[in-house]
A and B are shown apart, each in its own frame.
Chain A
Amino acid sequence: MPIQYYLFLSMALFSIGIMGTLMRRNAIIIFMCIELMLNAVNLLLVAFSKMYVDSSAQIFVFFIMVVAAAEVAVGLAVIVMMHRKVHSVDINILNRLKH
Chain B
Amino acid sequence: MTQLVYLVPLFPLIGFLINGIFWRKMPKTAGGVIGTLTILASFIVSLGIFFEVKNSGTATMVHLFDFINSGKLSIPFTFQVDALSSLFLLIITGVGFLIHVYSTSYMHEDEGMVKYFAYLNLFIFSMLLLVLGGNYLIMFIGWEGVGLCSYLLIGFWFKNRDYTNAAKKAFVMNRIGDLGFLVGMLLILYTYGTLSYQDFFGQLKGGQVIVSTSTYNWIAICLFIGAMGKSAQIPLYTWLPDAMAGPTPVSALIHAATMVTAGIYMIARSSALYNLAPMAQTLITWIGLATAIVAATIAMKQYDIKKVLAYSTVSQLGFMFLALGVGAYTTAVFHVMTHAFFKALLFLGAGSVIHAMGGEQDLRLMGGLGKKMRITQITFLIGCLAISGIPGFSGFFSKDEILAMAYAHDPILYYLGVFAAMMTAFYMFRLYFLAFTGIFRGTHDQEHHLHESPWAITIPLIILAILSVVGGYVGLPAVISEHHALASYLAPVVANTGEHHMLAGTEWMLMGISVSVSVLMIIVAYVRNKKPAFAPNTGVAKFLENKWYVDELYDAVIVRPIGAISRLLDRFAERAGIDGIVNGVGKLVGWGGDRVRLLQSGQVGFYIFVMVLGIIALFTLGFFWIR
Contact = CB atoms under 8 A, between A and B. Distances in A.
Contacts of A3: none
B600 interface: yes
Q: Is the interface of B mostly helix, strand, loop or mixed?
A: helix
Interface stretch (B35-43, B464-472, B572-580, B604-612): B604-612
Interface in B575-619: 600-605, 607-609, 612
A91 interface: yes
Interface string A30-48: 0000000000000000000
A4 interface: no
Contact of B601 (A21, A22, A25, A98): A98
A97 B612 contact: no
B602 A99 contact: yes
A3 to B, nearest CB: 18
Contacts of A99: 602
A22 B613 CA distance: 11
A22 B605 contact: yes
A18 B609 CA distance: 9
A94 interface: yes
A87 interface: no
Contacts of B601: 95, 98
A21 B608 CA distance: 8
B602 A22 contact: no
Contact of A25 (B602, B605, B609): B605
Interface residues of A, number: 12
Nearest to A24: B605
A84 interface: no
Nearest to B603: A95
B612 A91 contact: no
Nearest to A21: B608
Contacts of B612: 18, 21-22
Contacts of A91: 603-605
Nearest to B615: A18
B491 to A, nearest CB: 94
A85 interface: no
B198 to A, nearest CB: 81
B602 A95 contact: yes
Contact of B609 (A22, A92, A95, A97): A22
B428 to A, nearest CB: 90
Contacts of B607: 97
B608 A97 contact: no
Contact of A92 (B600, B605, B608): B605
Contacts of B600: 97-98
A94 B600 CA distance: 13
A22 B608 CA distance: 7
A94 B605 CA distance: 10
Nearest to B616: A18
Interface string A76-99: 000000000000000110111111
Contacts of A97: 600, 602, 604, 607
Contacts of A21: 608, 612
A92 B603 CA distance: 6
A21 B603 CA distance: 13
A82 to B, nearest CB: 12
A94 B612 CA distance: 20
Contacts of B608: 21-22
A22 B602 CA distance: 15
B600 to A, nearest CB: 6
Contacts of A98: 600-602
Most buried by A among B602, B605, B609, B612: B605
A91 B601 CA distance: 12
Interface string A1-42: 000000000000000001001100100000000000000000
A96 B601 CA distance: 9
B556 to A, nearest CB: 67
A96 B603 contact: no
B604 to A, nearest CB: 5
Nearest to A18: B612
Nearest to B612: A18
A8 to B, nearest CB: 17
Nearest to A23: B605
Contacts of A94: 602, 604
Nearest to A19: B612
B612 to A, nearest CB: 6
Nearest to B597: A98
B503 to A, nearest CB: 109
Given A18-B612, A22-B612, A96 B605 contact: no
A94 B602 CA distance: 8
A98 B609 CA distance: 16
A96 to B, nearest CB: 6
Contacts of B609: 22
A21 to B, nearest CB: 6
Nearest to B600: A98
A22 B604 CA distance: 10
A50 B526 CA distance: 131
A92 B608 CA distance: 13
Nearest to B607: A97
Interface string A56-88: 000000000000000000000000000000000
A22 B612 CA distance: 9
A32 B603 CA distance: 19
Contacts of B603: 91-92, 95
A33 to B, nearest CB: 10
Contacts of A18: 612
A18 to B, nearest CB: 6
Nearest to A25: B605
B583 to A, nearest CB: 31
A96 B603 CA distance: 8
B138 to A, nearest CB: 70
7 closest A-B pairs (Cβ-Cβ)? A98-B602, A95-B602, A97-B602, A91-B604, A91-B605, A22-B609, A95-B603
10 contacts: A18-B612, A22-B605, A22-B612, A92-B605, A95-B601, A95-B602, A96-B602, A97-B600, A97-B604, A98-B601
Given A91-B603, A95-B601, 20 more contacts: A18-B612, A21-B608, A21-B612, A22-B605, A22-B608, A25-B605, A91-B604, A91-B605, A92-B605, A94-B602, A94-B604, A95-B603, A95-B604, A96-B602, A97-B600, A97-B602, A97-B604, A97-B607, A98-B600, A99-B602
